[in-house]
Amino acid sequence: MRQVKAKILDQRLKDDPSLLPTYANPGDAGMDLRACITEPLTIEPGDVVLVPTGLAIYIEDPTLVGLILPRSGLGHKQGLVLGNGTGVIDAPYQGQLQVSVWNRSKKAFTIQPLDRIAQYVVMPVVHVELAVVDEFEASARGEGGFGSSGHQ
């Protein structure tokens, strides 16, 4: 298993290492991030807040990227998703991971201190170079956009 460097910024995570992000199951892609807040935080419908995780992760390797993604249960059942869709954490970043949380539901939701609020996934990065052309070779998809495959 590859390693990335982590700096613990919140004493509660130092005091209880079981609160650190881990993979809950062997096949899981993401590690849960926690809300390192000191008191409950109520997010009103439509509001977006930035929640600290108490953790800085330095990937360092430019062939990897960290992604902050919503937790599917919170998104589906509670309406909490990421305010920026997906958080992209580039390899050289060394600051605290923060989660932009958007309450898209019709009712207020309260995050409790140390609740699991998002997940962190590390993925490979492929750098490409653009080859500028006047025309593309024909493909089966062509320029068909949303819904062009015939599925609704």
Answer yes or no: is 72 a known binding residue. Answer: yes
CA 33-61-123 angle, to 5 degrees, is: 50
Answer yes or no: is 16 a known binding residue. Answer: no
Answer yes or no: is 89 a known binding residue. Answer: yes
- Phi/psi of residue 74, nearest 5 degrees: -65, -40
- Phi/psi of residue 4, nearest 5 degrees: -125, 155
Cα–Cα distance for residue pair 35/112, rounded to 1 Å = 7
Answer yes or no: is 90 a known binding residue. Answer: yes
Residue pair 66/57 in contact by the 8 Å Cβ criterion: yes
Answer yes or no: is 57 a known binding residue. Answer: no
Cα–Cα distance for residue pair 38/57, rounded to 1 Å = 21
Answer yes or no: is 122 a known binding residue. Answer: no
Which residues face 5 on adjacent strands?
Answer: 58
Question: Binding site for substrate, residues?
Answer: 71-73, 84, 88-90
Question: Binding site, residues?
Answer: 71-73, 84, 88-90
